[in-house]
């Protein structure tokens, strides 16, 4: 009898059984549901955002001190490795991110087990939600009001509230700036959506609860695809030209830095 052949056959059997066991384990871990957290790390052109404490220079040669950086994110969708989309329940899918009030993490509950490779979300509040009326906003209306994200109910939500002071070559004394961007009726809809690939898969199961770490660059608001000069107009609220440009810039300020897959059993 060829003992080498027997050894090779036994080795092949062991490897096959191990592979099957590994596959079974992979299937077993991809069950249940858990929490997905999204952390928003706010910065300015690669530096940490320190409200009222640091100055930042943009490509327009304007020197900014930022005192407020708040924005609304909404309508979250997670996309798995097969291209399937899980849409988070709409009535629970509106959040304020506020640097000054330490609201920098979003928690999505009861996410089905899967390997997620991309995330999609809105910047602002969509028309369908706003048209549900004040009663249809639930607790989010009060949250927005408490975080300076409302003009009034009739005027609607501020999708972005970006404030501080600046100087430039033509503005010697520190001057206040206010960038408030939102929709104003159906004629000026500045709600936008962002889709981002994850640098590594976010693994969700009854034992795995990932954290998606988002790097957010406030510099892109003025210094993005569209150049917005504060020295030309320091207060932008309802502007048919600049408001849509700012909304496009705001979609470019998000980047997924990394994904942390940790163990956590959701209760």
Q: Verify that 104 and 22 share a domain, yes or no.
A: no
Q: Verify that 14 and 115 share a domain, yes or no.
A: no
Mean local confidence (pLDDT), 75-82: 97
Closest Cα partner for 93 from 79, 74, 109? 74
pLDDT of the residue at 188: 82
Q: Verify that 60 and 20 share a domain, yes or no.
A: no
On whether the CB atoms of residues 29 and 208 are closer than 8 A, the answer is yes
Chain centroid to CA 43: 13
Structural domain span for residue 20: 1-30
pLDDT at 20 exceeding the cut of 50: no
pLDDT at 13 exceeding the cut of 70: no
Mean of per-residue pLDDT scores for the chain: 89
Contacts of residue 240, defined as CB under 8 A and 6 or more positions apart, other chains included, come to: 188
pTM: 0.87
Number of domains in the chain: 2
Q: Give the number of other Cβ atoms within 10 Å of residue 126's Cβ.
A: 17
pLDDT band at 19 (very low <50, low <70, confident <90, very high): very low
Specify the range with the lowest mean pLDDT, choosing from 69-73, 131-135, 160-164, 197-201.
131-135
Q: Verify that 129 and 245 share a domain, yes or no.
A: yes
Q: Verify that 42 and 2 share a domain, yes or no.
A: no
Q: Verify that 7 and 127 share a domain, yes or no.
A: no
Q: Verify that 22 and 96 share a domain, yes or no.
A: no
Q: What are 2-12's pLDDT values in tens digits?
A: 544 444 444 44
Q: Verify that 139 and 14 share a domain, yes or no.
A: no
Q: Give the number of other Cβ atoms within 10 Å of residue 176's Cβ.
A: 12
Q: What are 181-190's pLDDT values in tens digits?
A: 999 766 789 9
pLDDT band at 27 (very low <50, low <70, confident <90, very high): very low
Q: Verify that 172 and 231 share a domain, yes or no.
A: yes
pLDDT of the residue at 184: 79
Q: Verify that 161 and 208 share a domain, yes or no.
A: yes
Distance, in Å, from the CA atom of 34 to the CA atom of 264, rounded to the nearest integer, reads 8
pLDDT at 17 exceeding the cut of 70: no
Tokens found for residue 172: 């010697």
Within the chain, strands assigned E span 33-44, 47-48, 55-57, 63-80, 85-87, 94-98, 105-112, 114-123, 150-152, 156-157, 160-167, 175-181, 192-204, 208-217, 235-236, 254-263
Choice between 1 and 93, residue whose per-residue pLDDT is larger: 93
Mean local confidence (pLDDT), 63-69: 98
Coil vs helix vs strand at 45 = coil
Q: Verify that 23 and 59 share a domain, yes or no.
A: no
Distance, in Å, from the CA atom of 67 to the CA atom of 164, rounded to the nearest integer, reads 5
Q: Verify that 79 and 104 share a domain, yes or no.
A: yes
Q: Give the number of other Cβ atoms within 10 Å of residue 256's Cβ.
A: 18
């Amino acid at each position: 009898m060829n003992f080498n052949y027997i050894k090779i056959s036994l080795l092949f059997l062991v490897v096959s059984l191990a592979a099957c066991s590994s596959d079974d384990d992979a299937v077993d871990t991809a069950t249940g549901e858990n929490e997905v957290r999204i952390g928003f790390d706010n910065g300015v052109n690669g530096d940490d955002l320190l409200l009222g404490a640091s100055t930042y220079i943009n490509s327009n040669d304007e020197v900014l001190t930022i005192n407020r950086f708040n924005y609304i994110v909404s309508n979250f969708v997670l996309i798995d490795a097969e291209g399937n989309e899980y849409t988070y329940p709409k009535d629970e899918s509106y959040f304020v991110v506020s640097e000054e009030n330490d609201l920098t993490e979003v928690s999505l509950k009861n996410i089905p087990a899967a390997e997620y490779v991309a995330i999609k979300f809105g910047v602002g509040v969509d028309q369908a939600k706003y048209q549900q009326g004040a009663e249809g906003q639930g607790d989010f209306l009060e949250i927005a009001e408490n975080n300076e994200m409302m003009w009034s109910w009739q005027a609607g939500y501020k999708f972005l509230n970006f404030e501080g002071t600046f100087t430039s070559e033509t503005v010697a004394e520190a001057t206040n700036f206010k960038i408030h961007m939102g929709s104003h009726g159906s004629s000026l809809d500045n709600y936008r959506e962002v889709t981002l690939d994850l640098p590594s898969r976010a693994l969700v199961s009854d034992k795995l609860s990932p954290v998606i770490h988002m790097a957010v660059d406030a510099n892109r608001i003025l210094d993005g695809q569209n150049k917005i000069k504060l020295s030309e107009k320091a207060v932008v609220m309802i502007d048919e030209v600049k408001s849509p440009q700012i909304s496009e810039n705001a979609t470019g300020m998000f980047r997924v830095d990394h994904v942390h897959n940790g163990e956590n059993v959701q209760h």
